[in-house]
Each structure stands twice: as structure tokens, then as C-alpha cells.
Amino acid sequence: MNQYIDIHPRVLKAIRNNEPVVALESTIISHGMPYPQNVEMALSVEKIIENEGAVPATIAIIDGRIKVGLTPDEITKLAQLKNVLKVSKRDFGYCISKKYNGATTVSATMLVASMVGIKVFATGGIGGVHRDAQQTFDISRDLEELANENVCVVCAGAKSILDLNLTLEYLETKGVEIIGYQTDELPAFYTRESGLHVDYQLDTPEEVAKLIHVKWSLGLKGGIVVANPISKLYSMDKSIIDQEIEKALLLAKENNIKGKEITPFLLSKIKALTEGKSLDANIQLVYNNAKLAAQIAVCYEKL
């Protein structure tokens, strides 16, 4: 795959020297947030990771090249471009062969991180089993990559627009641990509460690093989900956000929005319905996850 991948010199040096690196996705830049908040968020996330002693590696496809580690100019370009492809596993060949621009989803970012040897990845929330999946079979590719790639994913749980109970069941079937960071309850993206329990609670980055080190040292394949709740200061009221999600889901059904378009549509509608409060929460939970991911990466490299 190296002929299609460009690794930023700073990231390459860190990988070769076994220094802590944190992968970052780019769909959140091109599809998850409006301009200019997306640029501010992306650059701030990288700074947070650097301040914790790790190297950030934002991943995207620019003009048909997989980039592992973007420059500030490339981040700004991606944030402003229109018609950026949302890239999952099935889209790599098309996007690269056509020399298009692509933003990597959680699953695509995990794939690239695994290819180049990055073990820790920070994102907002993972995808999962969509509501009414019994009829639609709409299940995020994120879950398959979590089952197959040795990457620790730090997130604020699964996006609350999903069927969280079925998402947990799917991950259990695939043998993916869900670790609650300082909590025994699955966070639900915008809110700290879901009413669902996680597999295990761990309370320090060192404990998480030790778990992933032991798992992969045993030769057990697959990722780990570290569910890190949004801080209490920015957590939204569960009953209110649930009402707005129901309204957004109804709008999606009325407009026949499906597949890879459903998540950006729902996030955009929820932002409008909450008068921007959900966007503020989204930005803060990403910062929170980036900090923890960097701490875990530092501890893991020490092992």
C-alpha cells in the first residue's frame, strides 16, 4: 500500500522511533461540522494531543493520495472543499484511482492507522447498528473494522442516533471490549447517560494501555472501544436530546435519506433543532477524547 500513502515526516519519525502517535479521522472535518468551526476544531485537537506528549496524525485522501498527518493548509483545504467523498473501505479504490479528495470515516481511519502501525485513534463517536436495522440491514462498517484491526478507539460511545442496545450486542458477538473510562455506563455521545452498561470500567490511561498491550500480546485480533463520557459541563439533557433525535429521524424518513448520507443529515438537523448546542457538545467531546487518547498512547509506548 505504500505507493498510495504519504506519511508526514513528523509522523513517520514517531512511528519508526516507537513514539506515541494518535490517529484522527477527517469525516468530522468535511461532513461533521460547518466551516470555520471545523478548521478550529481540527487544529485545536492536534494541539491538545501535542500538549500531552503525542504526535497527531489526521488522515484523509488529498488528490488521490492517502495522507497520514495533514499540514494546517491541507486541513483548511479539506474543510472548505465541496463534494469531498465520505470514504469507507469500499470507497478507497474508487477515490484513489480517480484522484479525488476523500474524508476518512472511523472505519477507514482505523484501516489506514493499522496499515502504518498507529495503535491509538481518537474520534467523536463510533458508528453502529442503525435504528430499524432489522428491516434496513443498515449497520456501520465501523463495527467490522473494530473486530478486525488492532486499534484502540477512544470515543464518547456510539452516536445516540443509533440503536445503542443492538450496537453493544453486535460488538459482543465480534469480541470487541467496550471499556467505560471512569464509568460503568455507556455514554451516548451528546449525553453521559444511556441506561446501558459497558463490559468493564477502567479509571486511568495506564490501565487501558495495559489491557490493550495484553490483548495484542496474546495474539488476539481486533480493536478496543474506550468509551469516554462527555464532561458534565457540556453534557446535554438526555430527555431533550432524545426528543430532538426522534424529530430528526422522522425528517430523514420523510426525505428518504439512507446509507452514508444518514449520519451527516441527522447531525445537521439535530444541530438546527438544538440551536447549535449539539455542535458545541460535539466539539467539546472530541477535545476530551483527544486528550485521553494521547495519554493512553504515551502509556502504551512505555510498555
Mind telling me the catalytic residues? 25, 159
Gyration radius (Cα) of the chain, Å: 18
Backbone φ and ψ of 202, nearest 5°? -125, 150
CA distance 91 to 94: 5
3-state secondary structure of 83: coil
* Beta strand ranges found along the chain (DSSP E): 5-7, 21-24, 55-62, 65-68, 85-87, 102-104, 120-122, 152-155, 177-181, 200-202, 224-227
CA dihedral of 295, 298, 299, 301, whole degrees rounded to 10: 150
- Find cell 472511523 and name the residue: 106
116, 67 Cβ separation under 8 angstroms: no
Cell of 221: 485480533
Establish how many alpha carbons lie within 13 A of residue 288's alpha carbon, considering only the half-sphere containing its beta carbon: 25
Residue 23 is given by DSSP the state E
